[in-house]
């Protein structure tokens, strides 16, 4: 009954094909949450896949629903002793559309296929493979030790790919039932495929639409040019006051007050390697920042779309209207409720009061981040070093967005995410895949973490 025996059992589970079988069964269920015809599949994933798996591990399960949710949630708990540490975990069983017919070599998104040291299938990275690894590692630790030595609460959501409707309300309504001492869960990508990673929060997003409606209809540019204002020119100039010519954000309320020292120190060890993607533009974004600081430590703003006139068929007229959608991704330190009002004041001050602002339907969430020097982070990092011999990347928050505020703010837990995927996994496109090396290492990492939780967890 040792730590290494638990890790060995987890690796054996992988090597025997047992993890592949788990993931294959789950990928075989077309749980597309954006497809109304799949509603029964969503419920069935919980009833006939997750529930039996969790009950076999000694969990008590119940389905939770909320009127604002689009799908059911499964809540499972395994309490050995209320005095022990309670770990909260989360996974989502829904996936984005399969995009059948668009996969390489005619691959079927609903059949897990091994190929080139990867497993291909819809949901294998986001998120079925990731929660399957965690549940399998939990099983291996339980079988090795005969007990866990800690309590577990597990929440499986079926609406994450629709933006997690109702998740916040559900967690607020069942705060005492759901709350644990720490969240340890898996989603999202590692910093680099070969490097174990911990991230402790996420950036958040606000989209805002800018529009100028000058008048009814277009007017001939030969007769009216120089006399009538052009909304396209006005909107382009307005945007240029929001983000400078090299992508620097110029609205102070859109930026955090500073990059904390502990975040800077953690990111100094997180060099990006975007070798598989387009070349990075070094002069773009916040001047003087490293690439990691730009993505993980700071805000970034984009123009997602800009329309004026008829782009498919330009005519010799002053267009009556221009419209753009901008997006702000922000970190802790930016007040989400201040973002749009600050933009309004900024535009008014500079004379752009003709620009109207509106926010597309969205839930405004705060950004979250746990200090990289928090005791739980240091504990988890030490466990991963002990298991893999590799120093994990410690990302204060993900560059992308997860509903982490529900866990960190509403449920009030420190949040540790241990991703078992990488940026090139094509999670929302055809050819979603999971490298087998990450899956196998993920089994070991999770077995080590669960083992260590039963030994001595931070107070």
The site for Zn ion (CB under 5 A) is made up of 126
CB of 188 to Zn ion, least distance (A): 9
Report, in Å, the least distance between residue 355 CB and Zn ion: 33
User: Which residue's CB is nearer to Zn ion, number 123 or number 297?
Assistant: 123
For the CB of residue 217, give the shortest distance to Zn ion in the complex, in Å: 42
Cβ distance 390 to 190 under 8 Å? Answer: no
User: Token match 């006051």: residue?
Assistant: 241
With respect to Zn ion, which residue has the nearer C-beta, 126 or 441?
Answer: 126
Helices and strands in the chain: count of H runs, count of E runs: 15, 17
Residue among 279, 250, 400, 408 nearest 329 (CA): 400
Q: Which residue is nearest to Zn ion (CB)?
A: 126
Give 24 or 95: the residue with its C-beta nearer to Zn ion. 95
Please give the helix or strand (H or E) that residue 42 lies within, else none.
Answer: helix 39-45
Q: Minimum distance from CB of 158 to Zn ion (Å)? A: 13
Find the shortest distance in angstroms from Cβ 45 to Zn ion.
15
CB closer to Zn ion out of 417 and 450: 417
Residue 427 C-beta: closest distance to Zn ion, Å: 5
CA 219-224-225 angle, 5° bins: 105
Nearer CB in complex with Zn ion: 383/401: 401
| Structure token pair of residue 340 | 């749009």
Q: Is 333 exposed, middle or buried (0-12, 13-18, 19+ CB in 10 A)?
A: middle
- Between 77 and 126, CB nearer to Zn ion: 126
Least gap, CB of 96 to Zn ion (angstroms)? 6
By C-beta, is 49 or 126 nearer to Zn ion?
126
* Nearest distance, CB of residue 404 and Zn ion, angstroms: 14
- Name the H helices within 66-205: 128-145, 167-173, 175-178
189 conformational bin, left if phi > 0, alpha if psi -120 to 50, beta if neither: beta
> Which CB, 59 or 422, lies closer to Zn ion?
422
**CA 317 to each of CA 25, 306, 311: distance values in angstroms, whole numbers, following the listed order:** 59, 18, 12
Tokens at 168, concatenated: 């916040």
Output 345-352 pairs: Cβ under 8 A, ≥24 positions apart: 346/241, 346/242, 346/251, 347/238, 347/241, 350/238, 350/241, 352/234, 352/237, 352/238, 352/241
Q: Distance (Å, rounded) from C-alpha 57 to C-alpha 67?
A: 30
């Amino acid at each position: 009954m040792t730590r290494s025996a638990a890790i060995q059992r987890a690796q054996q589970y992988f090597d025997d094909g047992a993890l592949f079988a788990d993931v294959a069964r789950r990928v075989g269920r077309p749980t597309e949450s954006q497809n109304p015809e799949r509603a029964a599949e969503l419920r069935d994933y919980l009833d006939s896949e997750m529930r039996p798996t969790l009950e076999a591990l000694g969990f008590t399960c119940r389905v939770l629903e909320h009127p604002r949710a689009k799908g059911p949630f499964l809540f499972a708990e395994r309490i050995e002793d209320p005095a022990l540490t309670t770990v909260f975990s989360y996974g989502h069983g829904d996936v984005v559309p399969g995009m059948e017919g668009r996969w390489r070599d005619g691959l079927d998104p609903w059949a897990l296929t091994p190929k080139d040291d990867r497993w291909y299938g819809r949901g294998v990275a986001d998120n079925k493979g990731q929660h399957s690894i965690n549940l399998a590692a939990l099983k291996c630790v339980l079988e090795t030790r005969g007990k866990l030595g800690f309590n577990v609460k597990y929440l499986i959501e079926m609406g994450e790919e629709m933006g997690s409707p109702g998740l916040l309300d559900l967690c607020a309504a069942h705060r005492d039932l759901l709350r644990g001492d720490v969240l340890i869960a898996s989603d999202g990508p590692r910093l680099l495929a070969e490097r174990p990673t911990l991230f402790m929060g996420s950036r958040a997003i606000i989209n805002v639409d800018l529009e100028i409606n000058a008048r009814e209809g277009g007017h001939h540019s030969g007769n009216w040019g120089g006399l009538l204002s052009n909304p396209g020119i006005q909107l382009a100039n307005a945007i240029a006051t929001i983000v400078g010519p090299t992508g620097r954000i110029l609205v102070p309320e859109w930026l955090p007050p500073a990059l904390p020292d502990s975040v800077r120190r953690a990111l100094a060890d997180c060099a990006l390697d975007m070798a598989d993607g387009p070349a990075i533009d070094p002069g773009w974004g916040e001047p003087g920042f490293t690439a990691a600081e730009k993505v993980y430590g700071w805000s970034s703003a984009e123009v997602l779309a800009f329309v004026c006139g008829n782009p498919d068929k330009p005519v010799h007229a002053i267009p009556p209207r221009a419209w753009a959608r901008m997006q702000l991704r922000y970190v802790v330190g930016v007040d989400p409720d201040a973002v749009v009002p600050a933009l309004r004041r900024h535009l008014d001050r500079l004379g752009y009061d003709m620009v109207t602002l509106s926010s597309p339907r969205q839930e405004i969430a705060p950004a979250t981040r746990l200090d990289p020097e928090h005791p739980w982070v240091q504990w988890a990092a030490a466990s991963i070093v002990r298991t893999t011999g590799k120093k994990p990347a410690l990302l204060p928050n993900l560059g992308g967005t997860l509903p982490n505020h529900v866990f960190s703010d509403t449920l009030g837990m420190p949040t540790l995410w241990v991703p078992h995927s990488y940026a090139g996994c094509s999670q929302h496109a055809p050819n979603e895949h999971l490298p087998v090396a990450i899956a196998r290492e993920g089994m070991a990492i999770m077995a080590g973490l669960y083992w260590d939780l039963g030994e001595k967890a931070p107070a």
